Amino acid sequence: MTELMNGDLGLWVLFATGFLSATLLPGGSEANLIAALKMGDNPVWQIVAVVTIGNTLGGLTNYWLGLLLPDKTAENKQSNKALLWLKKYGYWSLLLSWMPLIGDPLCLAAGWLRMRFWWCATAIFIGKMIRYIALAAIVLGLFPGLSV
């Protein structure tokens, strides 16, 4: 029973750090993901799913915050690098929402530009999921020559 409780608590901590690290608050979920994988209290798919969902919801929080910003004229939207990426690459750019420094502003800008929610949510989820799957694969030694 104690192992189950530790595993469940670990998943909640992983979800919370995944969520917080995707908001505009500083933080990172990678260390907790690595720890959860190395502890082995939960299946890998479950660990990756929990941190991906938490991180996606954090990114969508930035999207919703962007919706709260007043809609500006097209001229004012040209000054921000994240906005330029979104204008140039559209929804595809949100696959990079996991990247440090630009990921959070990308999600915020998507909301500010009033981009369609479900397309944004899907792109953000896929980008973050690929990141965590790749990190888990590295931690588990599935890529020879790479280790954490």
What total of structural domains would you count in the chain? 1
Residue 148 belongs to a domain: no
> Cα separation of 138 and 49, whole Å?
16
Please indicate, yes or no, if residue 145 is contained in any of the structural domains. no
Indicate if the pLDDT at residue 123 is higher than 90.
Answer: yes
Residue 69 lies inside a defined structural domain of this protein: yes
For the chain, give the number of residues: 148
pLDDT in tens, 85-108: 777 888 999 999 998 888 888 999
Give the model's confidence band at 1: pLDDT under 50 very low, under 70 low, under 90 confident, else very high.
Answer: very low
Q: Tell me the per-residue pLDDT of 70-79, one tens digit each, with 9 for 90 and over.
A: 875 455 555 5
Report if residue 147 sits inside a domain. no
Give residue 24's domain range: 2-139
Nearest one of 4, 25, 125 to 12, comparing CA atoms: 4
Decide: 123 and 107 in contact? Cβ < 8 Å. no
43 dihedral zone (left: phi>0; alpha: psi -120 to 50; beta): beta
pTM for this predicted structure: 0.83
pLDDT digits (tens, 9 = 90+) for 35-58: 999 988 899 999 999 999 999 999
DSSP state of 79: S
